């Protein structure tokens, strides 16, 4: 694990007077950058806040004590999450700390239509998905990543329940990406598939252009090996190709 702010270290840092009050979201972002991403400027800012809040905390200032406790809880949550995240891989194998790639900050504080990290931003309680920042049922896009940073799934969550999968990736036994599947956010139907060879190069792309009312594919577009041009295929209702041409 990366170096963390233990209770003893935090105790030493709380030693000055006055402190900068941050919102819960700001605390979450700062702690993530300082303790998980190990950003130097964030660590320095956090140390200053700890030092400034310290004098009031040791004098049993109620507000300062509450601030100190909130920092502690968020820190513990992030450290526990990072420990679980670090070891996740699609298949077998070992991931060193240096190889671990954590979600970008934008997935930690995302709002509205911005996707957020499933592992760090959200938590599950009684089979429902909650936003850690608000403790409310979450609605929006969610990104599931492995410890390597590569995406496993992207989903749309509505009122704490996964409504549709937007993207689903597949890997080989060596944890290499072999296929990406993209789905419509509203219908959940497959929109496109990208397949990769053992060297990580695209070997095939298939885009669904049109469907029958039944949901069966009526027309698709296939591109091989990253070529500029591909082939359009039209199908009958029995899924048999009835026409194809380059485009």
Structure tokens given for 155? 């989903």
Per-residue model confidence as pLDDT tens for the chain (247 residues): 444 444 433 443 444 445 568 999 999 999 999 999 999 999 999 999 998 888 787 888 788 889 989 999 999 999 999 999 988 899 887 788 888 999 999 999 988 788 999 999 999 999 999 999 999 999 999 999 999 999 999 999 999 999 999 999 999 998 999 999 999 988 889 999 999 999 999 999 999 999 999 999 999 999 999 999 999 999 999 999 999 999 8
Spatial CA neighbour of 100 closest among 108, 110, 89: 89
Helices assigned H by DSSP within 87-160: 118-121
- Which residue reads 């990072």 in tokens? 82
- In three-state secondary structure terms, 97 is helix
Q: Look up the pTM and report it.
A: 0.82
Helix (H) or strand (E) run with residue 42 in it: helix 40-58
């Amino acid at each position: 694990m990366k170096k963390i702010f233990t209770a003893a270290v935090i105790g030493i840092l709380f030693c000055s007077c006055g402190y900068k009050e941050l919102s819960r979201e700001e605390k979450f972002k700062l702690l993530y950058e300082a303790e998980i991403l190990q950003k130097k400027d964030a660590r320095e800012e956090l140390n200053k806040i700890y030092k400034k809040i310290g004098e009031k905390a040791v004098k049993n200032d109620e507000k300062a004590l509450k601030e100190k406790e909130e920092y502690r809880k968020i820190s513990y949550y992030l450290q526990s999450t990072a420990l679980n995240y670090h070891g996740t891989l699609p298949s077998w194998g070992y991931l060193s700390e240096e190889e671990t790639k954590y979600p970008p900050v934008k997935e930690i504080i995302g709002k509205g239509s911005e996707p957020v990290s499933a592992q760090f931003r959200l938590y599950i309680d009684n089979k429902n998905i909650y936003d850690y920042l608000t403790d409310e049922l979450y609605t929006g896009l969610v990104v599931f990543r492995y410890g390597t940073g590569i995406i496993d799934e992207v989903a749309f969550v509505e009122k704490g329940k996964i409504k549709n999968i937007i993207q689903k990736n597949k890997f080989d036994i060596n944890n290499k990406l072999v296929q990406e599947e993209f789905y419509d956010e509203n219908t959940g139907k497959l929109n496109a598939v990208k397949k990769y060879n053992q060297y990580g190069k695209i070997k095939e792309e298939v885009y669904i252009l049109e469907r029958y009312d039944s949901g069966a594919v009526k027309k698709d577009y296939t591109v091989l090996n990253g070529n500029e041009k591909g082939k359009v295929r039209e199908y009958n209702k029995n899924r048999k190709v009835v026409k194809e041409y380059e485009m």
